[in-house]
Amino acid sequence: MIVVMRSDCKDQDVEAVLQRIQEAGLSGHLSRGEERTVIGVVGQVFPELRGMLETLPGVDEVVRISRPFKLSGREFHPDDTVIEVGGVRIGDGNVVVMAGPCSVESEEQTLTTARAVKAAGAQILRGGAFKPRTSPYTFRGLGVEGLKILAKAREETGLPVITELMSIQDLEVVLEYADIIQLGARNMQNFTLLDEMGKVNKPVMLKRGLSATVEEWLLAAEYILSQGNHNVILCERGIRTYETYTRNTMDVSAIPLVKRLSHLPVIGDPSHGTGKWYLVAPLAAAAVAAGADGLMVEVHPNPDHALSDGAQSLTPENFGVLMQRARAIAEATGRGISPQPAAAASR
């Protein structure tokens, strides 16, 4: 941390800053330049110190030089984290595809979709049973009945299941059925939920908040990691911008950026990232080209009848086209689509 003093600061201001740094159990290294006086803070700084020092007279700004996300960052963990779930390896260099309906609507709809995404080469089945919806008047999911349908689809296809948890009160039942717990964009900064996710022994996929910076996102992951759960997957699902032709702006640049900053696997979600079915395959291709460890894609047997997110859902046929493209791009960059779990092959 470096304290930059104002050019008109007084000697006693500098003294006071040095004293405050000492009081905090650290030492200050003073450097007087022609135009600026700066003080380097030496020792184990704590996050609150920045704000404290910024209030002192004569201080212009306090600049952080080390990153605040210690556990999710690469600084102390240079190797990629690889997460194994139900026979699928996430983050090992290959591309893992999670696909399925936005919401579990019925057994038939979910099983039909599960069979189709398996046939097209997906490794993980997605489906929402507890749905975070903008309006309370829209379909909010089948709840526990939906979880049971997902379990049935897993039983038949052998694909592990990812599903969203919205509230701690559903934790036990979601843990019973899910292989990966999804924390949705709207809950990215639900800090009590994040703390709880740190105590479970299942992988958690943390979606980027609607308006979250990359640093806020990594600090949210830090909550989970710091409670002891090291199996965290990040998912870029688009952010809110001024553009209205798309539902969100898929921040493709965040994928290689986060992979540079963090060792955690990063998944791209072009369905929520664009909101338009015809943009899903191009942005899936872009995410793979940008180095994503996987994709999350919404698929529905009849998007025109979907109870949620129909406009961004692919038909099984279009999902097949997306898989071909994703495979070609993965191979062009020396990677591949992950193998399906052994349990899927035997069913």
Closest contact distance (angstroms) between CB of 213 and Mn ion is 23
Site for ligand PEP contains 140 (CB under 6 A)? no
Q: Which stretch binds ligand PEP (CB under 6 A): 167-175, 180-188, 214-222, 311-319?
A: 180-188
Site for Mn ion contains 142 (CB under 5 A)? no
Comparing CB distances to ligand PEP, the nearer of 20 and 272 is 272
CA distance linking residue 316 with residue 100, whole number of Å: 10
Q: Would you give the binding string for ligand PEP spanning residues 225-264, x where CB under 6 A is met? A: ------------x---------------------------
Closest contact distance (angstroms) between CB of 287 and ligand PEP is 14
Q: Which stretch binds ligand PEP (CB under 6 A): 48-56, 63-71, 181-189, 326-334?
A: 181-189
Site for Mn ion contains 102 (CB under 5 A)? yes
CA distance linking residue 289 with residue 178, whole number of Å: 29
CB distance 267 to 238 below 8 Å:
no
Site for Mn ion contains 164 (CB under 5 A)? no
CB distance 13 to 5 below 8 Å:
yes
* Nearest by Cα to 180 from 73, 296, 95: 296
Site for ligand PEP in 54-113 (CB under 6 A): 102
- H or E stretch including 321? helix 316-332
Closest residue to ligand PEP, based on beta-carbon distance: 184
Question: Which residue of 184, 203, 268, 270 would you call a contact of ligand PEP, by CB under 6 A?
Answer: 184
Judged on CB neighbours under 10 Å (0-12, 13-18, 19+), 330 is buried
CA distance linking residue 70 with residue 144, whole number of Å: 37
Comparing CB distances to ligand PEP, the nearer of 93 and 132 is 132
CA distance readout (Å), 316 to 150, 202, 279, 301, 344: 18, 29, 16, 6, 18
CA distance linking residue 141 with residue 120, whole number of Å: 26
Site for ligand PEP contains 339 (CB under 6 A)? no
CA distance linking residue 114 with residue 126, whole number of Å: 9
Comparing CB distances to ligand PEP, the nearer of 128 and 198 is 128
Strand partners, 206: 183, 234
Closest contact distance (angstroms) between CB of 312 and Mn ion is 7
Per partner kind, with CB cut-offs from 5 to 8 A, the member of Mn ion, ligand PEP, none near residue 337 is none
Q: Would you give the binding string for ligand PEP spanning residues 110-129, x where CB under 6 A is met? A: ------------------x-
Comparing CB distances to ligand PEP, the nearer of 3 and 252 is 252
Comparing CB distances to ligand PEP, the nearer of 53 and 299 is 299
The CA angle 289-234-224, to the nearest 5 degrees, is: 160
Q: Which stretch binds Mn ion (CB under 5 A): 101-109, 137-145, 208-216, 220-228?
A: 101-109
Following DSSP, what letter does each residue of 114-173 receive, concatenated?
Answer: HHHHHHHT-SEEE-BSS---SSTTS----THHHHHHHHHHHHHH---EEEE---GGGHHH
Site for Mn ion contains 105 (CB under 5 A)? no
- H or E stretch including 285? helix 277-289
Per partner kind, with CB cut-offs from 5 to 8 A, the member of Mn ion, ligand PEP, none near residue 233 is none
CA distance linking residue 207 with residue 59, whole number of Å: 37
Per partner kind, with CB cut-offs from 5 to 8 A, the member of ligand PEP, Mn ion, none near residue 185 is ligand PEP
* Footprint on this chain of ligand PEP (rule: CB under 6 A): 102, 128, 132, 184-186, 207, 237, 272
